[in-house]
Structures are given as C-alpha cells and as structure tokens.
Amino acid sequence: MSTRTTASVSTHILDTGLGRPAAGVAVRLAVRAGRDTGWRPLGGSTTDTDGRCADLPAPPEGTTHVRLDFAVEPYLDRTAAGRTGHRTADARQDAPADRAGGPGVFFPEVTVTFAVVPGEHFHVPLLLSPFGYSVYRGS
C-alpha cells in the first residue's frame, strides 16, 4: 500500500471587468493518469459568493494531470448589463451571434489543464473578463 497522498485542487474566479468574485459559475474537474490516457470526469461544483469552489473532488492516487472546465457563458450573460466601458454595445457588435441572433459571449467556456504531483495542493485561480482570461498557480 502506498503512503503517498493524492494532490488536492482548489480554484476561484475573479471577474476583473467588474472587480468582484464571479459567483454561480459551474466548474467540472476531470483527471488522467498519464498524458496518453483518457480523461475521467470526477465531478464538479459551483462558485459561491466569494467566487470559490469549496468542494471539488480530490484527484485519486495516480493522477498526473487535472483539467478544470469553467462554464463562463451563463455568468457573462447574467453580468453583461452591469458592465460599464468593458462590454459596450459597440464592443458587443463584433462578438459572435448566439442562437437567438443576439450578440454572444466571446469565451463561452474556459478549460485549464495542469500537471500535479502527489502530496501537493494546487490552487488555480481564473481571472475573467468578457474578452480575455488568465490563470496561474496560486497558493
């Protein structure tokens, strides 16, 4: 029996366009044991009022890569009316159209894949705005 502990993963989302946490974003977590193996979904969570997912599942022993899938389109649609200067009507004219013919969201989802090692914690924040995003390994 191995004494190595599994890695742990956490995330949060900050809406840099509005200067606040992004609440209500669905986040799915998948894992794989080697770069040549398939992804195995483990579950997910939804960001709370602080933009954090407090209950993401722990990757099982043997995990080498983790993928976080952020479903940001519903959130960006909900918050579009509250944006000033970042998502103006002129800027939205160049965005792809949604199925109803209206302006769509430029990044409907964000997928982040990263390598993990046993026994370490990996905090991966997402900084989100309507036309860009950034991720990094936090602490």
Give me the pLDDT at residue 6, please. 84
Q: Which residue has the higher pLDDT, 114 or 88?
A: 114
Please name every residue paired with 20 in a beta bridge, in sequence order, or none if there are none.
15
Does 78 or 101 have the greater pLDDT score?
78
pLDDT digits 0-9 by tens, 21-62: 999 999 999 999 999 999 999 999 999 999 999 899 999 999
User: For residues 92 and 113, which has the higher predicted lDDT (pLDDT)?
Assistant: 113
User: With 80 as the cut, is the pLDDT of residue 3 above it?
Assistant: no
Summarize pLDDT for 115-124 with one digit per residue, the tens. 999 999 999 9
- How far apart (Å, rounded) are the C-alpha atoms in residues 134 and 62? 28
Residue in this structure with the two tokens 């080697």, named with its chain if needed = 34
Residue type, 130: P
- The CATH-assigned architecture of domain 8-130 is Sandwich (2.60)
- pLDDT of residue 133 exceeding 60, the answer is yes
Place of tokens 């982040």: 112
Q: How far from 112 is each of 56, 72, 89, 124, 129, CA to CA, in Å?
A: 15, 13, 29, 9, 16
pLDDT of residue 71: 98
Residue 75, pLDDT score: 96
C-alpha count within 13 angstroms, C-beta hemisphere, residue 75: 28
Provide the terminal-to-terminal Cα distance of the chain, rounded to the nearest Å: 30
